[in-house]
Amino acid sequence: MNIEKRIDKIMQKYGRTIGYGNSSLGQWHALVQPLRYKNKMYLQGTPTEIGRTEDGYYLYIGPADRSLFGDNVRLECEDMRFSVDKTERVYIADRVAYIWAVLRQEIM
């Protein structure tokens, strides 16, 4: 079994159902988890009187065939809506294995 199929199998088993804001484009499974403090070093955050807050950021790991590249990409998962702040293709050898992204939760 190639690496892409293994990753897809993991997402099917452990991932959450997610889709583009336009539900007519279908849904898929991806790993979507809140980013913890140690994972947020590269985010700008919001300055406050007592420090910085960085709530509402999520890590996305999804299938290679679901592009998050482009302007104004919106995703929906359960009762949450996200914009895509940063996204990258993760390669193994010369093939895209999965898509990595930082999502920001939007107020619905």
DSSP 36-58: PGGG-TTS--EEETTEEE-TTEE
Q: Are 91 and 97 a contacting pair, CB within 8 Å?
A: yes
Examine the pLDDT at 101 and tell me if it is beyond 90.
Answer: yes
**Model confidence over 10-66: pLDDT tens digits?**
999 999 999 987 667 789 999 999 887 665 555 555 555 544 445 788 999 999 988
